Amino acid sequence: MALDPPQQAQFYPAKLRALTRDHLGFELEEVSGMPDGALGWSARASAVVYLAETVVGRALGRTLVSAQDRGAEQIHVICADEAAMVARRAATFKMPVDVWSIGTDGLAAAEPAPHAPSPVLPEATVALTADIVAAGADPVIEHGVLVGEVRGLEIVRAEDRNGVVELGVGVGDFDREVFGLIHGDVPTMEAVREVVETVARHRCPGADPHPLNRIVSERWLRSLLIDEPGRIGFSTLASAEPPVARVSVKETMPAIAVGELGGEEWVVAVSTGIDLDLVPYAADARLKLAPDAPLAIVVPSRDAHRVTSRLAASLEIPARLIAIDDNWRSWS
């Protein structure tokens, strides 16, 4: 049974205290309850412990920042699930992090899991790439899914419909279903072009605020940098597959790219806003794409916070933080 917020505020801290006492062997003197878990601190043990009950993939950054602020000698992350993924990301940092999974017998040490191989697209799906380009959208393939984007926003997706691969038009599953019901008689290419034009009008310099230019802004910024990689000193830049698949088209997570700088291949993570898990996510992307490559993290200047810089420097292979113009939405 799901817990409501008041129940979470009481249950998660109590659970964290019990797990720490019974399995890690020390008491927590301070514990803060959160919507997705609880964070605890022990001065005697010089330890930070985080209980990640939900949104586990976003637990590591918060834990590392707290550990750095406290000067902790022990760092523990206790995961309700996805512990192997968190362990993989934790291994990219200089600071030793113990990651635990919750089992029936208590806690078990989690081992890093490799990235799952990406599915190979059927030829019929790959063939739709030409249609996406012809309609004026950018084809993007991530985790076995072909989509078409306009300045970073997905507006079309290849879907298997009763054994036939076709393009579904719309922003997200619900929008595609509604679009199909309303415009079922509109030829697909014509429908895609209409949506491309609509989205392009909203995701352009000087456009008035609109839901279409407020979501997945990090992917919009990536698309601009792909068009003009020189803005961050790169000679080339192309979109690349992220370390994990997005759950929703509107889900906010760093946009990943690969490019060339000074004759070297780099992995690039693009983000907007302050995100404590930007650096662990970016490091995981590098681990997937090119483990030994240099890593650049690109954010608007106002989001180049010291915590991001500090985490970037604490990687086994430190990342370069690149701050760009806060008014990037006005780039022509």
SS (H, E, C) 198-240: HHHHHCCCCCCCCHHHCCCHHHHHHHHHHHCHHHHCCCEEEEC
For residue 2, pLDDT beyond 60:
no
182 and 248 housed in the same domain: no
Compute the average pLDDT of residues 291-309.
97
Residue with more model confidence, 191 or 44: 44
Confidence at residue 164, expressed as pLDDT on a 0 to 100 scale: 86
Regarding predicted confidence, which is higher, 103 or 89?
A: 89
Instruction: Verify that 88 and 169 share a domain, yes or no.
Output: no
- Range of the structural domain that residue 247 is part of: 216-330
* Residue 324 covered by a domain: yes
**Residue labelled with tokens 């929703």:** 248
Is there a single domain that holds both residue 244 and residue 266? yes
Residue 229 within a domain: yes
How much is the pLDDT for 285?
A: 98
Predicted TM-score (pTM) of this structure: 0.93
Identify whether residues 261 and 315 lie together within a single domain: yes
- Residue 22 is predicted with a pLDDT of 95
Structure tokens at 234: 């790169």
Would the pLDDT of 9 be above 70?
A: no
Give the type of residue at 53: E
The Cα–Cα gap between 224 and 235 comes to: 14
Q: What total number of domains does the chain contain?
A: 3
Q: Domain for residue 116, yes or no?
A: no
Asked, for residue 117, whether it belongs to a domain, the answer is no
Q: Which of 165, 146, 141 is nearest to 156 (CA)?
A: 146
Regarding whether 271 and 243 lie in a shared domain, the answer is yes
Distance of alpha carbon 209 from alpha carbon 148, whole angstroms: 23
Same domain, 132 and 88: no
For the domain that residue 286 is a member of, what is the CATH number? Answer: 3.40.1350
For 227, the token pair is 């068009």
Residue 179 has pLDDT above 90, yes or no: no
**DSSP conformational letter for 33:** E
First to last CA, the chain: 51
The whole-number pLDDT of residue 185 equals 61
Q: Is residue 115 part of a domain?
A: no
Residue tagged 């291994």 (tokens):
91
Q: Would you state the pLDDT for residue 35?
A: 86
Residue 188, pLDDT score:
77
Mean pLDDT score, 287-314: 97
Residue 182 above 80 pLDDT? Answer: no
| 109, 141, 174 - which closes a domain | 109
Helix (H, G, I), strand (E, B) or coil at 79: strand
Residue 208 lies in a domain: no
